[in-house]
Amino acid sequence: MSGIATSTHFRILENIPVSSWCLSRGKRVFDVAFAAALLILASPLMVLAALLIKATSRGPILFRQSRVGQYGRVFSLLKFRSMAVHSPGGSNLTRSGDPRVTKVGRILRSTKVDELPQMYNVLLGDLSVVGPRPDMPEFIDTLDGDLRSVLLLKPGVTSVVSVEFRNEESVLSCVPPDQLRSFYINVLLPDKVARDLKYARGAGLGSDLRVIARTAAALLS
């Protein structure tokens, strides 16, 4: 993977301000406590999701995908599997109505239950609860200039951008298939990263709690 993380590049990026909270031990303590509590509370729901996946389609219960984390470190992101295994063709970008998504998968994705296993990523230190959503190397490697400073931040399970772009799959469904990758790389991804960086400059415990509350409200609505 070219250009993801070099020491020279990060010496330059460290001059771009993000709040001290984003890189603090206090944020890590909050992440671990929140993730552990949610995993305990959501364990019956997670067991039910696992049983439904196993009963309705062939393949593993969990889906793993390489994503780029803090300082360009690649890790394996966990999700409940929502697509049929060995689906023909397709893109790494998912649009509304994607035929690869199973019936159970549609429910898991719309309710975000498919992302609950990412709390294990939080405990492992791959993710924060609130932070920029981690993307795949093929997309992160297209970022340039100040936008690459997003790699200073630990990615998150949710973010203010996740709430604002919660209908992203619907937006992508309006883009012609042959233009999908170009639209994501040149329009959607830079916009999301710029918003994440703007949030990070003033982030704190209070703002993270508000993002979590907004995420919950968006799911309930």
Query: What are the tens digits of pLDDT across the range 20-77?
Result: 999 999 999 999 999 999 999 999 999 999 999 999 999 999 999 999 999 999 999 9
Report the DSSP pairing between strands 62-68 and 74-80: antiparallel
The reported pLDDT for the residue numbered 210 is: 97
The pLDDT value given to residue 169: 75
β-pair type (74-80, 128-130): unpaired
Q: Judge whether 1 lies within some domain.
A: no
Contact assessment for residue 67 and residue 77, using Cβ atoms and an 8 Å cutoff: yes
Tell me the C-alpha distance between 189 and 135, whole Å.
9
Q: What is the pLDDT of residue 5?
A: 45
Q: Is residue 61 part of a domain?
A: yes
Asked if the structure places residue 143 within a domain, the reply is yes
Query: Is residue 111 a part of any domain in this protein?
Result: yes
With respect to residue 178, please indicate whether it lies within any of the assigned structural domains: yes
Residue 82's contacts (CB-CB under 8 Å, 6 or more residues apart) are 63, 101, 102, 104, 105, 106, 108, 109, 114
Note whether residue 212 is domain-resident: yes
CA distances from residue 158 to 25, 84, 127, 162 in whole angstroms, order as listed: 19, 25, 10, 6
Residue type, position 185, single letter: I
Distance in angstroms (rounded) separating the CA atoms of residues 27 and 129: 9
| 114 domain-assigned | yes
Which residue is it, tokens 């990412």? Answer: 118
Name the 3-class secondary structure at 6. Answer: coil
pLDDT tens-place string over residues 168-221: 777 787 888 888 889 889 989 999 999 999 999 999 999 999 999 999 998 887
Between residues 5 and 103, the one the model is more confident about: 103
pLDDT at position 95: 64
pTM: 0.85
Is pLDDT at 124 greater than 70 in this prediction?
yes
Taking alpha carbons only, the member of 158, 83, 149, 100 closest to residue 127 is 158
Length of the chain: 221
Contact 131, 44 (CB under 8 A): no
Q: Is the pLDDT of residue 89 over 70?
A: no
Spatial distance between the Cα atoms of 216 and 65, rounded to a whole number of angstroms: 25
Q: Is the pLDDT of residue 10 over 50?
A: no
Domain that holds residue 205: 7-220
Query: Does the pLDDT value for residue 9 go beyond 70?
Result: no
SS3 annotation, 99-118: CCECHHHHHHHHHCHHHCCH
Does some domain include residue 177? yes
Split into its structural domains, the chain has a count of 1
CA distance 113 to 190: 27
Instruction: Check pLDDT > 60 for residue 106.
Output: yes
